[in-house]
Amino acid sequence: MSKIANIFKLPSPLPSSELFESLLSTEKVLIERIVSTGQITPPGEWYNQETDEWVILLQGKAELSYEDGKSIFLQAGDYLLITAHVKHRVEYTSDDPPCIWLAVHIKSNE
């Protein structure tokens, strides 16, 4: 029998670091919930992921920036696809309310 869970139910208290929870993991796909409470990517660092990442911000507000200088401001309901090896960083995440992300990492067939 499957266990029911709620994406919006957060642990109390929230940890001081960003929370990553794997919801489903297969050879080709990882689905995770990420909870951010003001965390950002450290200065000078960039994410350069091996997989495509489709992400939706379910709650909160956030800002992402790309190595080419483009920035995107996200609010609840906004989603995007970040293709593999596109360097990006998190510039802002709200803490009230916390950001709740649903991220789907997709491995290519290569």
Q: What is the pLDDT of residues 20-39, one digit of tens each?
A: 999 999 999 999 999 999 99
pLDDT at 110: 62
Report yes or no on 11 lying in a domain.
no
Rounded-to-integer distance, Cα 99 and Cα 88, Å = 18
Domain that holds residue 99: 19-106
CATH number at residue 94: 2.60.120.10
pLDDT at 109: 72
Contact 76, 60 (CB under 8 A): yes
The tokens for 95 are 């803490």
Report yes or no on 60 lying in a domain.
yes
pTM here is 0.92
Split at pLDDT 50, 70, 90, the class of 108 is: confident
Q: Summarize pLDDT for 68-107 with one digit per residue, the tens.
A: 999 999 999 999 999 999 999 999 999 999 999 999 999 9
Report yes or no on 70 lying in a domain.
yes
Contact 65, 46 (CB under 8 A): no
